[in-house]
């Protein structure tokens, strides 16, 4: 298995994804677009595409952020989807998946930064890839927007501040508005880059303090992500055998 990551910012990296990859012995490649590294031309050289988060949104133009090409990332997502590759989007990545498949992103009802519960919907309870999840799980959040929904999309989890936390677009394409990949050592840089959000924390009831965020353990939600990834890989390999 080979995984390709699209990383938009140095302060919002792959986190637990990389630990899981090394543990499983899978290969990885990267498009660190903030360093000018190019996106793949197509999906031929990877099995799973993972698009991570960032402060941009799908409407951010190249004039606003010179290294972020929303249209090209969406084209890569469509290519991977059409080639029956696995695709995971986190935060901005989830919004880009929706846009690539024809569903416009929207503002989330609430800004959420910190660790808050998500609750599985009936579709989520019945999704085999979320089998390890309890009805309610505390996970990471760092967003103001949320992904759009295609006609066939299934909302698998919601939160108090956002009705679209985990979305299944197909059996191999999932969007996570929430962050199960956060690990504590990566968060100081993200906090530093989000100083404006914390300075206006009194206006947003779902924004936690920096100290509370740094003191929250991540191991349980990381384990949930790992189990999800194992099940996604199994589904992908089963589908490839059929092909």
CATH of domain 2-242: 3.40.50.880
Give pLDDT, residue 84. Answer: 97
Question: Region 214-218: what's the mean pLDDT?
Answer: 97
Q: Where are the domains of the chain?
A: 2-242
How sure is the predictor about 113, in pLDDT bands with cuts at 50, 70 and 90?
A: very high
Give pLDDT, residue 167. Answer: 98
CA distance 170 to 105: 18
- Name the nearest CA neighbour of 198 among 184, 182, 212, 177: 212
pTM attached to this predicted model: 0.97
- Name the nearest CA neighbour of 113 among 145, 149, 158, 156: 145
Average pLDDT value for the chain: 96
Q: Is the confidence at residue 15, as pLDDT, over 70?
A: yes
Give pLDDT, residue 46. Answer: 98
Give pLDDT, residue 242. Answer: 66
SS3 of 156-183: the string is EEEECCCCCCEEEEECCEEEECCECCCC
How sure is the predictor about 243, in pLDDT bands with cuts at 50, 70 and 90?
A: low
Task: Tell me the pLDDT tens digit for each residue of 154-191.
Answer: 999 999 999 999 999 999 999 999 999 999 999 999 99
Give pLDDT, residue 199. Answer: 83
Question: Region 91-120: what's the mean pLDDT?
Answer: 98
SS3 of 42-55: the string is CCCCCCEEEECCCC
Task: Tell me the pLDDT tens digit for each residue of 116-135.
Answer: 999 999 999 999 999 999 99
Burial state string for 195-215 with b = 16 or more CB within 10 A and e = fewer than 16:
eebbeebeebebbbebeebee
Q: Which two tokens stand for residue 196?
A: 């404006």
Task: Tell me the pLDDT tens digit for each residue of 27-75.
Answer: 999 999 999 999 999 999 999 999 999 999 999 999 999 999 999 999 9
Question: What is the distance in angstroms between the CA of the first residue and the CA of the last residue of the chain?
Answer: 16
For 135: left if phi > 0, alpha if psi spans -120 to 50, otherwise beta; the answer is: alpha
Give pLDDT, residue 222. Answer: 98
Q: Is the confidence at residue 90, as pLDDT, over 80?
A: yes
Q: Is 163 exposed, middle or buried (0-12, 13-18, 19+ CB in 10 A)?
A: middle
Question: Region 101-124: what's the mean pLDDT?
Answer: 97
CA distance 195 to 46: 36
């Amino acid at each position: 298995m080979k995984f390709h990551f699209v990383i938009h910012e140095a302060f919002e990296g792959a986190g637990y994804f990389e630990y899981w990859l090394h543990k499983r012995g899978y290969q990885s490649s990267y498009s660190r677009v903030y360093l000018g590294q190019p996106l793949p031309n197509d999906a031929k050289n990877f099995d799973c595409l993972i698009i991570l988060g960032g402060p941009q949104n799908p409407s951010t133009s190249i004039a606003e952020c010179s290294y972020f090409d929303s249209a090209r990332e969406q084209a890569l997502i469509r290519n991977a989807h059409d080639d029956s590759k696995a695709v995971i989007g986190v935060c901005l990545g989830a919004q880009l998946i929706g846009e690539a498949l024809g569903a416009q992103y929207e503002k989330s009802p609430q800004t959420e930064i910190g660790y808050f519960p998500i609750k599985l919907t009936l579709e989520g309870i019945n999704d085999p890839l979320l089998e390890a999840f309890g009805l309610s799980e505390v996970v990471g959040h760092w967003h103001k927007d949320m992904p759009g929904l295609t006609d066939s999309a299934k909302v698998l989890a919601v939160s108090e501040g956002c009705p679209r936390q985990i979305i299944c677009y197909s059996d191999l394409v999932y969007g996570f508005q929430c962050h199960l990949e956060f690990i504590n050592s990566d968060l100081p840089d993200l906090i530093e880059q989000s100083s404006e959000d914390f300075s206006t924390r009194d206006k947003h009831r779902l924004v936690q303090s920096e100290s509370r965020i740094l003191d929250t353990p991540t191991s349980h939600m990381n384990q949930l992500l790992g189990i999800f990834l194992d099940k996604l890989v199994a589904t992908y390999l089963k589908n490839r055998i059929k092909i």
